[in-house]
Structure 1
Amino acid sequence: MSASKKTFRHRRWGLRLHQSLVFSPLFCRAVGAGGTGRAQRVFFPGCSLAAYAPHHVLAVSDYLRERLEGVGVLLKCCGKPLRLASLKESFQARFDSLRSELDRMGAEEVIVACQNCYVLFNQLDERRRVRSLWTLFEEQGLPEGLCGSAEGLEASIQDSCTTRGIAEITGSVRSLLDELGVTVHEMEFSRERARCCGYGPQIVSGDAKRGRQAMLKRAAESPCETIVSYCASCRSAMGLDGRKSLHLLDLIFGAPPPSSGGPMRDWLNRWRARQLLGRSA
């Protein structure tokens, strides 16, 4: 067997293992509104945010419940990695199960923190309204006391390539940063011209070296030492060259403590997010 075929088979095996784990009961949880199993609105944080900062998942859930009625949470993956790898049948089965769970919860609206999830739900789930967490933050307002809390910080923005053409999302992100007091220095390629952070091509190609090179190249385009992302995967990618890489939620709810541990840490954080949501139910 050629080296390329071995790499291809190994990549697909790794993706299937990842998806089997991320859809398992160990890392998933559905929490209804008001102690019930149902919710008019469902916050869908996505698996990457849970892997990065489980306390952000809980903090956003609490924020939404304070401001909106009938908010529940569904902690699960949208299955996008399978779609990127052209595993169409596996992806469709995963996404269908996700829609069925939202149906069981009675969800009329899904609020997403992940840009990949936002695009998938808009494309494939005609049963409910899809809302970006960032436009909702702008509409509802930041938590009390945060206006100007990041004054003095100068940063660039890594726009998610999956939603780069959606002006209401890129605009809301900048409005929130302005309200926080951040001085933004735009990259040459931003908003609708934003370049990929390199994470997606790494999944597709299975080539970690190629993915890392793309990540380093994109981070080097920032005129600032600090880069703010609103995608957990982008946040991870933009910190590889030693720059300070922040998630927008870090500026709202506080950054998680620095840690190392790679994939094992990510899985532990997903489990922690599940446990935190269980205690808040």
Structure 2
Amino acid sequence: MCQNERVKDADKCIHCHVCQENCSFLKKYGLDIGDTEKLNKLAYHCFLCGKCSEVCPVGIDGQGIIMDMRRASVASDEGARVNKEYKRTISEKKEYSYRNYRHVTEKSVLFPGCNFPSVYPKTTKVLVELFEKEAGIGVVYDCCGKPIADIGMEDEEERIMQGIQKRMDDAGVTEVITMCPNCYAFLKPRLTIRVVNIYQKLKELHLGEKCLPGGTMFRPCPDREKGEWLTDIEAFSDAEFQTLEDIQCCGLGGQGCAKEPEIAKSFAETVKKYPQTIYTYCGSCAGNLTRNGCKQVRHVLPEILGTKEKPDTIKSLINRMRTKYL
């Protein structure tokens, strides 16, 4: 759907307030997704979690509308302000500072993304060595481009994607194995090569332990609609997972935490109320929730690979920097 169509789509809003009731950001400002004039001024306060799109009874793509607003801001006189406010993210991600293609291989390649190697360096190392030994699969360290896309830098998003595609094509890569649900959701519709998730590939290669006890699962935003990753993860458990439905986001989504730190913190506060172990399958979610005091959060991949690693929230930046030299 093009931008003009999405703007018209917002006119279908019946102001039933369902989106407002399910989104802490919209609730704070007393807005519905159809209040586009007021939302335009608050576009960077949104967490881009897609909850409004998920619950809208008339099918409005609220997440898409917010993204269109951000892209319009970047393309307008507001572009300089946006560049200044997100300078740190842009400086690292626009031309990813820690890119490393030295271990790329033909056919299949592991794509850990930015955040998983930052908070789970030991598990990343174990997986890289396992894939190389058992299947001759290499690894590339790169950013998928989503952080830049979330800011609204559409031209840069396209340039980044073309660069990834070319580097993969030049190396003869025909399959990218993602470890991050955000990377998967972002790359799959944009690359011309096969994109799979890590749990699907572990099943194909008969690797990993069937050791998960089931329990409570915090689903990352990009997998909430289809549940593809969760379905593949269930192959590593003899019991079912019950998913948390009352928590909107981990707090990192869509750069929203920069504008709404209290809302972001409230998500973690809700998770803290659960006494049991909370599993997730997103490095960003696990790292951010742990950083905000949710000590019971566990990522499923270290369990499946037997490292039992907890997220390193202290040296995450250093860990990410090291991937450039691995």
Same fold (TM over 0.5): yes
Aligned to 1:29: 100
Q: 2:326 aligned with 1:273, yes or no?
A: no
Aligned to 2:285: 234
Q: Is the 8 A contact 2:110 2:138 kept in 1?
A: yes
Aligned with residue 16 of structure 1, among 81, 90, 100: 90
Aligned with residue 62 of structure 1, among 117, 125, 129: 129
Aligned to 2:205: 140
Report matched runs for 1:47-126 at 5 Å: 47-69=114-136, 71-126=137-192
Does the C-alpha gap of structure 1 residues 215 and 260 become closer, same or farther in structure 2, counting only changes over 3 Å? Answer: closer
Q: 2:180 aligned with 1:129, yes or no?
A: no
Does the C-alpha gap of structure 1 residues 38 and 158 become closer, same or farther in structure 2, counting only changes over 3 Å? Answer: same
Distance apart, 1:258 and its partner CA:
6.6
Distance apart, 1:7 and its partner CA:
8.2
Q: Tell me, in whole angstroms, the C-alpha distance in 2 between the residues paired with 1:118 and 1:242.
A: 25
Does the C-alpha gap of structure 1 residues 188 and 110 become closer, same or farther in structure 2, counting only changes over 3 Å? Answer: closer
Q: What letter is aligned with 2:294? A: G
Aligned to 2:295: 243
Distance apart, 1:220 and its partner CA:
4.7
Gaps in structure 1 of 5+ consecutive residues? 277-281
Secondary structure at 1:97 match in 2: helix
Secondary structure at 2:195 match in 1: strand
Aligned to 2:65: none
Q: Is the 8 A contact 1:157 1:184 kept in 2?
A: no
Q: Is the 8 A contact 2:119 2:312 kept in 1?
A: no
Does the C-alpha gap of structure 1 residues 161 and 141 become closer, same or farther in structure 2, counting only changes over 3 Å? Answer: same
Secondary structure at 1:108 match in 2: strand
Q: Tell me, in whole angstroms, the C-alpha distance in 2 between the residues paired with 1:258 and 1:205.
A: 22
Secondary structure at 2:216 match in 1: strand
Q: Is the 8 A contact 2:214 2:237 kept in 1?
A: no
Q: Tell me, in whole angstroms, the C-alpha distance in 2 between the residues paired with 1:241 and 1:44.
A: 29
Distance apart, 1:84 and its partner CA:
1.1
TM-score after normalising by structure 2: 0.66
Distance apart, 1:225 and its partner CA:
2.6
Q: Is the 8 A contact 2:119 2:311 kept in 1?
A: no
Report matched runs for 1:219-230 at 5 Å: 219-220=271-272, 223-230=274-281
Distance apart, 1:254 and its partner CA:
1.4
Q: Tell me, in whole angstroms, the C-alpha distance in 1 between the residues paired with 2:166 and 2:109.
A: 13
Distance apart, 1:88 and its partner CA:
1.1
Q: What letter is aligned with 2:143? A: C
Q: What letter is aligned with 2:132? A: R
Does the C-alpha gap of structure 1 residues 84 and 260 become closer, same or farther in structure 2, counting only changes over 3 Å? Answer: closer
Aligned to 2:249: 196
Distance apart, 1:214 and its partner CA:
2.8
Aligned to 2:232: 172
Gaps in structure 2 of 5+ consecutive residues? 1-43, 45-77
Aligned to 1:207: 260
* Number of residue-to-residue matches in the alignment: 248
Distance apart, 1:189 and its partner CA:
1.9
Distance apart, 1:77 and its partner CA:
0.5
Secondary structure at 1:123 match in 2: coil
Distance apart, 1:232 and its partner CA:
0.5
TM-score after normalising by structure 1: 0.76
Distance apart, 1:195 and its partner CA:
4.0
Q: Tell me, in whole angstroms, the C-alpha distance in 1 between the residues paired with 2:243 and 2:310.
A: 27
Q: What letter is aligned with 2:252? A: Y
Q: What letter is aligned with 1:169? A: W
Larger radius of gyration: 2
